[in-house]
Amino acid sequence: MLPDLGRPGIALFQIPARKDNYIYLLHDEEVNLTAAVDPSDAAPVTDFLSAKGWGLDYIFSTHHHHDHTGGNEALRAATGCHVIGFEHDADRIPGIDIRVEEGERVTFGRFSAEILYLPGHTLGHIAFLFSGLKLLFSGDVLFSLGCGRLFEGTAPQMFDSLRKLRRLPGDTWVCCAHEYTEANGRFALTVEPGNEALQRRLREVAVLRRAGEATVPSLLADECAANPFLRADSPEIRLMLDMPYATDAEVFARLRAMKDVF
Ligand code: ZN
Ligand code: FE
């Protein structure tokens, strides 16, 4: 279920794309602005927009991978929208025309997002944090019950990126770009079988998937309670991995390596 943003006029939408991608749409009817997050393809977005009678003003690109940017050029050509992406990855973000840095704010009508630089999955990965709407567009950094693979960055980099997210308010909705929750949960259960929050979440996920519904966005507080990649300090995980005296970063690195071959 998509969250009610609690502010009149603005709403969040989720368009399934490809095998397991989600494209998010943020629409503010008060100022008639629309943004798409990580459009893997143009067609599902243009279909949705024309059904609603909306234009497209912005694309928020979290990172360069094709399953997140495949629709950028065509959408920009069709709608004249701006493409916002990371300054230091500009040569890999198709259609980019607004370049942003860590800590910068991007304005979306009455609201704005803070740019968080979160290397690990790629070296140019960013997230868009709308504190006023309690929304985090986390791309492929943080998934429900999982985290992104380390394609470019190192485990310590990803650990720091996730630690940054862990410090955000627990009532933040994590809007990730993939429906990976069920598979992530199977791994999570092997490293923390006694975690009741995880067990509860898995029951909920099973019900949602059986009904053909999305399991994301999820609340950051629930991720902190159930997602092993945010829980390197968990005594049970440390016991299961036989790493009682390792640092949290070392436990995280081991978890990530185990998940790669799970
Ligand atoms: Zn990716
Ligand atoms: Fe992806």
- DSSP one-letter string for 74-130: HHHHHH--EEEEEGGGGGGSTT--EEE-TT-EEEETTEEEEEEE--SSSTT-EEEEE
The pLDDT of residue 1: 74
C-alpha torsion angle, residues 251, 152, 117, 115 (rounded to 10): -130
Q: Is 27 assigned a catalytic role? A: no
C-alpha 66/C-alpha 184 separation (Å) is 22
Ligand nearest to the CA of 177: 2
Distance 40 CA to ligand 2 centre (A): 9
The pLDDT of residue 53: 98
DSSP single-letter state for residue 226: H
Of the candidates 27, 64, 121, 125, the residue annotated as catalytic is: 121
Q: Which amino acid is at 60?
A: F
Q: Is 64 assigned a catalytic role? A: no
- Whole-Å CA distances, 36 to 23, 71, 161: 7, 10, 23
Of the candidates 28, 68, 125, 222, the residue annotated as catalytic is: 68
Of the candidates 27, 63, 64, 125, the residue annotated as catalytic is: 63
Ligand nearest to the CA of 123: 1
Q: Is 248 assigned a catalytic role? A: no
C-alpha 180/C-alpha 195 separation (Å) is 19
Distance 244 CA to ligand 1 centre (A): 32
Of the candidates 65, 89, 125, 222, the residue annotated as catalytic is: 65
Q: What is the sign, positive or negative, of the torsion defined by CA atoms of 200, 13, 3, 140?
A: positive
Of the candidates 27, 38, 178, 222, the residue annotated as catalytic is: 178
CB 38 within 8 A of CB 61: yes
Q: Is 28 assigned a catalytic role? A: no
Q: What is the sign, positive or negative, of the torsion defined by CA atoms of 77, 52, 173, 41?
A: negative
Distance 17 CA to ligand 1 centre (A): 14
Q: Which of 90, 87, 54, 88 is nearest to 72 (CA)?
A: 90
CB 209 within 8 A of CB 215: yes
This prediction's pTM: 0.98
Q: Which domains, and CATH codes, for the chain?
A: 10-260 (3.60.15.10)
Distance 121 CA to ligand 2 centre (A): 9
Ligand nearest to the CA of 180: 2
Q: Is 140 assigned a catalytic role? A: yes
Distance 61 CA to ligand 2 centre (A): 11
CB 141 within 8 A of CB 147: yes
Q: Is 242 assigned a catalytic role? A: no
pLDDT 10s digit of each residue in the chain, 262 long? 799 999 999 999 999 999 999 999 999 999 999 999 999 999 999 999 999 999 999 999 999 999 999 999 999 999 999 999 999 999 999 999 999 999 999 999 999 999 999 999 999 999 999 999 999 999 999 999 999 999 999 999 999 999 999 999 999 999 999 999 999 999 999 999 999 999 999 999 999 999 999 999 999 999 999 999 999 999 999 999 999 999 999 999 999 999 999 9
Place of tokens 């519904």: 213
Q: Which of 149, 86, 154, 82 is nearest to 117 (CA)?
A: 86
For strands 111-117 and 146-147, give the pairing.
unpaired
Of the candidates 38, 57, 89, 140, the residue annotated as catalytic is: 140
Q: Is 65 assigned a catalytic role? A: yes
Q: Which amino acid is at 217?
A: P
Side-chain-side CA neighbours of residue 43 (13 Å): 2
